[in-house]
Structures are given as structure tokens and as C-alpha cells.
Amino acid sequence: MKQTLANAFLIVLISIFMVGCQTTTIHNTRINDNQPLKAGHGVVALELVNNTDRLAGYHKNWGEVIIIRIDNEEERKQAAIQKAKDKAKKNGKKFDPEKVEWEHDYYSLRANSKGTVDSQVFVGTMPEGDYIISVLYSFYSDGNVSSWINMPVFQSAGVFNVKNTQLTNLGTLVFQPLLNTKKASFWSTSTEQRAYVTRLEESTDLAPFVNHHYQNLYSSLDLSTVNSWKADPLSKLRSQLGLLSRKNAYGDKAISIQGSDNNMLAARFGQLHLIDSQGNLITETLPTASQITASTQYKDTLLVGSERGLLFTQSLAGQWQQHQPISATEAFVWLGSNGNFGYALSSSEKQHTLYRFAEIDKGWQKIGSFKKKDGNNWLVQNGGLFVFFDETGQPKVINDNKLLTYNEASGQWKSSKYQSFKKFSQLKSGELIALEVSQWDGYGDQVVSMDYGKTWHTVDRSLSLLGDRKTDASLPALIPGSRVISVGRIKENKKKGKKKLRIISAPLNKQGKNFTWQAHGEVKPNCTALLPELTQIETLFFLCDQGQVVKTSDYGVTWSSAVDIDIARMQSQYEAFLDARETDLAKNAEDKSTTN
């Protein structure tokens, strides 16, 4: 590694050590909306999108963005030298200014989770000045295990400016893995080829998010000028990297769109893939960088929900239009329609809210609020919250172990005891597919209901106890003829040898009867998560570890690519960025040497 990179990485290690051991001051940037903005401070807002399902086993997202102030470096250095000089003189000791240690001003932005699902938004206040992001940082501890990871940033994102009483909107920052984050070696190696951080050229408007969360603060800001990143010679290359990440967006949210022949795979960066009745894909790019989270067809209009309260519709001309029917403190997590009304489920920090609407832009009625439960509380695994329609088109809500039915006349919800599910989905034809809660590891048996949840068929299959996590956590699919599709470990023709993961199918039997499985082709390695909501007739779709999606129309005999993730091209483009960065660093060092 070249010396400039080595020095940069050394600073990262020092900063991480300081964060973990509290040996230096990390300034808190948290906002108290009941207090006025500090004199000389501005507000910084940043969206961060991880283009992967999770960072590591213990780390879903980043906990902090550590920032260094760089415009006062010389001032702080000289102040430290003077202090050391005075101390040496007082003690009668020799003084060497080159050995004086000094510190930057460090600042920590923490995520505000209200209104997001997979993306993160960081908002904080900092003094006027020029800044650079040093590192993305995440720490985990449960009393038994402690774990921390970090990702250097520096010139990968660039320099930004904060000004008094003004908003600095940094738009969307991208964390892009180039290797498999599931492997332990990903975070133990320091090679820069493992991942990159860059920024999207398109500016994400985070002002509504700041307004909805910090109304008093927002009203005091001077919004006549909104600051952002400073232009530099690397801006074009960053833009190209950001565009590549967007074209290779990670998507694992499969949606069976009610009222439409199409199904949808929702992804990061406002990307979605529509799957038509023949299993062909059409990719759309929406005017957002956030995660697409929900969709339904309502009165011949495709509705697409996202984070920060954003809803999108597509005009007859094919243009996407943005709406904000709910607060940016909420994120859409489900959309549905029974023909007469549209329904939307949102998620905020501590609760879910169910809305009913007749028009997209007005008249949204809140018909239910439901307290969120953690997935587990150390002793008990809890179920999630899900909405589905019964045979009459009325919405029902499953909240952990309760089934809630809405009484239209009274406006109240009737509660009765019910099963708990970790995952749940209603297909456009009405059937329900789900994954029960297990008190062992969270994920229980796959189950199917053909009568709107009155009775359930348990899908019994064989899997490896520890090695089939992705498969264990996936839902079953249904194909014509009331046949269920799943993935299980079966020996070929009952011969000796290791059981292999295969696509399996069976007719739905009476409740309580074991399935008579028919084994088919093997699933592709690292592509073992069935996406049942995407199924079109007998075309099945599977998610791979790094975000690729493959499909088969003959039960695994042959495979083809549905969604490709071009890792090689991103690696090549990033190497070009590294070369350009080295040239820019060398030029800056030469200019500084000439100036001195």
C-alpha cells in the first residue's frame, strides 16, 4: 500500500481506537428540538444506503458516521505546540515541535431510524467549517459478545462545508461491498478491494425529513442556500461509481401485486423489477435513492411505497410522480386494495399505523395503531405484524399472537388469539404463505393457508440444522394445480451420499398429513432463497447471496439470470478511482510542499 494510503488508514485506526476507548473527545451532534440552534452551528443531513442485506452477522446497519473537521487543523496543531512549549519551558525540559501530539476535532452523527427501513438518515449540528468523513462505524454488544466493524471513507466521499444557520444536505452515500460480506474474512482484511464508499450524483432532498423530525429547528434555518459537497477532480469518478451501484441495486423484497398481472422485486436506490406473466423483467428507476418497500394496484394505478413517507405513482406517459400522504417519520411497509379502498401500513419508531384512503393525495384515514414488538427479548421469540384481506375483502391484522378484525360500524378492532409468524405474505389470488415462529432460532415451519387463514398446512421438509439459514428463512411457493413448492435436502434416487438442496413439490394434502414430495433439480450454489411472490405459473425465482436473482421454468433442470449484479465492472471502476485518487493526493502533497 502506498505511503499516502497507509497514513490515511493509520488515522482510521486511531479514530476507531479513540471511539472505542473514549481516549479523545468525540463531539455529540444530536439535536434537541426544544433548544435553539447553537450560535455558529449549521445542520448536516445524510442518507446512507448499504447495497447489501446486512453488514455482518451482528451488524445490520452502521451505528455512527465519524467526521473530522479539517479547516482548523493548523490552528489546533499550533495551539498544541504552544501548550507543549510552555510546559517544557516551565519544567526546564527540551522541546521538539515535531514530537508534539495533537488531535483533530471529531464529530459523531447517529442515525435517526424514524421513517426508514433499510436506508439510514443521519442528522446533526456542527460548527461552521470544512469537514471530511473519516469512517463508518458499528458496535455491537449483548453482554456475552462484543463486535465492531468500520469502513474508511475520506476522499471517497470528499469534503463538505457547514455554515451558520444553514442546512448542509449531503444527499445519499453508498456502501458497496465487492466481496461477500457473509464471509468472516471480509471484515478481517484491510484491502481496499473489499468494498467502496461513494456518493450519488443526484441530490436526495432531506429537507422534508429534517422538517418533520425537528420542526422548531427547521423553522430557524436559513434555507435560501443549501450547502453540499465541494467539487473536486474526483467528482466525476464518484458519480460513475454511484451510478454503477444504483444499476446493481440489491433487492430482496418480493411482492405479489394485487390487482395486477405483474409481480415486483423491490430494491435499494428506488429500483424495482416488474415480472410479467411470462416471467420477463422490466426495470424501473424511481425518483428516490431510498428502499422500495411496498406496492399494490389501485383503480388501475400502480402505487409504490418507500421510506420517509414517500409514495409514487406512474402516469399514463410512464413518468413517476412523487406524493407525501404521510409524515416522513413513517415508512410504508405494506400496500393493498380491496377494490373500494386502498390501504397502507406504515412503520415508525415504536408503532405501526394502518391507513385507509379513497384518493391518493388526500383523505387518508387512520383506522388503527399497533404497538411494535421486538423480534425477541432474550427469553421469547415474537412474531411480526402483517395485514391481509379475508374472503369478503375486509382487512385483518396479525400482531404477534393476536388476530385483529376491524368493526366498520364502531371503528374498533376485535382481538382473538392466533398463531405467530416471522414472515407472512398474501398472494394476489388470496392464498397465504407464512413462516411460523420458533423459540429455538426464530424461524419455524413453512405453512400455507388456502382459506384466508382459517386453517393452515404445515410444509414438512428436511434441512441441515445449521447450514441452511437462508433456505430455512424463506417462504414456500404455490403453482397451478394446488401444488406447493419448497426447497429441501433429499438424496438423489435414495442413493448413498450427502443430501443435496433440491427444489421439491407436492400436492396440498389434508391438514395434518405429511407431504408426498417429488424431488427435482438442485438449487444453484449460493442461490437458495426462494422468492415465492415472484412466481409466474411454473417459473420460480431465487435470490443469491450477493443480490443476483436466478430463475428456472423446469424445476431446477436449467437456470437463467433474471437480475445480474456486475461486481467485476464495479471493481474495475473502483480501481480507476483509486488510481485517480493517488494522483490527486500526490499533486496536493507537491503543492503543499511548494507552498511551504
For residue range 256-265, list pLDDT tens digits in order.
Answer: 999 999 999 9
Asked if residue 293 is part of any domain, the answer here is: no
Mean pLDDT of 47-52: 97
Q: Is 153 domain-assigned?
A: yes
Domain closes at, from 191, 217, 247: 247
C-alpha–C-alpha distance, residues 389 and 397, integer Å? 9
In the three-class reduction of DSSP (H, G, I as helix; E, B as strand; rest coil), residue 245 is classed as: helix
Residue 351 has pLDDT above 80, yes or no: yes
Q: Is the pLDDT of residue 72 over 70?
A: yes
Which 3 state secondary structure label does DSSP give 169?
strand
pLDDT, residue 17, reads 41
| pLDDT value of position 10 | 40
**Within a domain: 571:** no
pLDDT at residue 21 is higher than 60:
no
Assess whether pLDDT exceeds 60 at residue 314.
yes
Asked whether residue 16 carries a pLDDT value surpassing 70, the answer given is no
pLDDT band (50, 70, 90) for residue 375: confident
Tell me if 253 is assigned to some domain. Answer: no
Least confident of 84-93, 152-161, 277-286: 84-93
List residues bridging with 281 in a β-sheet: 275
Mean pLDDT of 487-513: 80
Higher pLDDT, 465 or 457: 457
pTM assigned to the model = 0.91
Q: Which of 222, 247, 272 is the last residue of a domain?
A: 247
Q: What is the mean pLDDT of residues 286-296?
A: 97
Domain count across the chain = 2
User: Are 120 and 138 within 8 A, CB to CB?
Assistant: no
CA angle 74, 75, 81 (to 5 degrees): 85
- Tell me which residue range forms the domain holding 533: 461-562
- Residue 564 pLDDT > 90: yes
Q: What is the pLDDT of residue 558?
A: 97
What beta strand segments (E) does 299-341 contain? 301-306, 311-314, 320-323, 331-337
95 with 171: CB under 8 angstroms?
A: no
Q: Which pLDDT value is given to residue 9? A: 41
- Residue 6: pLDDT above 50? no
- Could you tell me the CA-to-CA distances from 414 to 345, 402, 504 in Å, in that order? 18, 10, 39
The answer, yes or no, to whether residue 3 has pLDDT greater than 50, is no
pLDDT recorded at residue 97:
87
pLDDT at 154: 95
- The whole-number average pLDDT for the span 440-455 is 92
For residue 344, what is the enclosing H or E element? strand 342-347
Alpha-carbon distance of 30 to 33, in angstroms, equals 10
Which of 247, 279, 314 is the endpoint of a domain? Answer: 247
Which amino acid type is present at position 424?
Answer: F
What is the C-alpha separation between 535 and 527, in angstroms, rounded?
A: 16
Q: What is the average pLDDT score of the chain? A: 91
Comparing 376 with 238, which gets the higher pLDDT? Answer: 238
Cell of 44: 448536516
Q: Which residues pair with 59 in a beta bridge?
A: 56
Q: Which three cell numbers stand for residue 364?
A: 387518508
**pLDDT given for residue 217 in this prediction:** 95
Tell me the CA distances in angstroms from 202 to 118, 120, 246, 289, one per residue in order.
Answer: 19, 17, 11, 9
Each residue of 86-133: pLDDT tens digit?
A: 988 888 888 888 888 889 999 999 999 999 999 999 999 999 999 999
Interior/surface letters 548-559, b for 16+ CB within 10 angstroms, e for the rest: bbbbbbebbeeb
Between the alpha carbon of residue 381 and those of residues 27, 59, 404, 442, 550, the distances in Å are 37, 19, 20, 6, 32
pLDDT recorded at residue 408: 82
Segment 190-194 mean pLDDT: 83
| DSSP letter, residue 118 | S
Alpha-carbon distances of 159 from 25, 237, 591, rounded to whole Å? 21, 15, 18
Does 341 fall in a domain? no
Residue 367 forms part of a structural domain: no
- Greater model confidence, 254 or 482: 254
Amino acid in the structure at residue 337? S
Say if residue 277's pLDDT is above 90. Answer: yes
Q: Which of 7-16, 163-172, 377-386 has the highest mean pLDDT?
A: 163-172
